[in-house]
Amino acid sequence: MAEDLLNQPDTVLWQRALQLYAAHDWFMVHEVLEVLWKRSHGRDAEFYQAFLQAAVSLYHYANANFSGARQLAKSATSRLADLPGEYHGVDVKDYLRQYEALMAPVLMGASDLKPLSASDAPAIRAV
């Protein structure tokens, strides 16, 4: 799979990441976005890294690794907040609002956390 990813153009990889995200395959979202992140620079790299970290935080949350989810959510939230409201065709501001609401109990260390239900994950919406 990794070799296949390296040979794909950025636009194809981004579309693949969006498909995997919609299917709640956050581990594979990470794999795809890592390729994009490593080959990008500046704001593009920040964009891909923010969504990579968000996906991995959701992966950890779904697997009851609340500490891992918290650590990555802090970083993802900060990176998302530093991006423009709309970037690469994504409503970043809307995603951040949904993501912060979902991750608030994890970030606050709530004592009654349960693994994330995939259907509760925020959607990545196009603008």
The pLDDT assigned to 5 comes to: 78
What are the boundaries of each domain within the chain? Answer: 2-120
Predicted pLDDT at 78: 97
Give the confidence band of 1 by pLDDT, cuts at 50, 70, 90. low
Write the class of the CATH domain 2-120: mainly alpha
Evaluate whether 29 touches 52 at the Cβ level (below 8 Å): yes
pLDDT (tens digit per residue) in 85-104: 999 999 999 999 999 999 99
pLDDT, tens digit (0-9, with 9 covering 90-100), for 14-63: 999 999 999 999 999 999 999 999 999 999 999 999 999 999 999 999 99
CA dist list (Å): 98 to 4, 18, 95, 127 = 32, 16, 5, 16
Q: Find the helix or strand (DSSP H, E) in which 91 lies.
A: strand 90-91
pLDDT at 7 over 90: no
Give Cβ neighbours of residue 64 (< 8 Å, ≥ 6 apart): 113, 114, 115
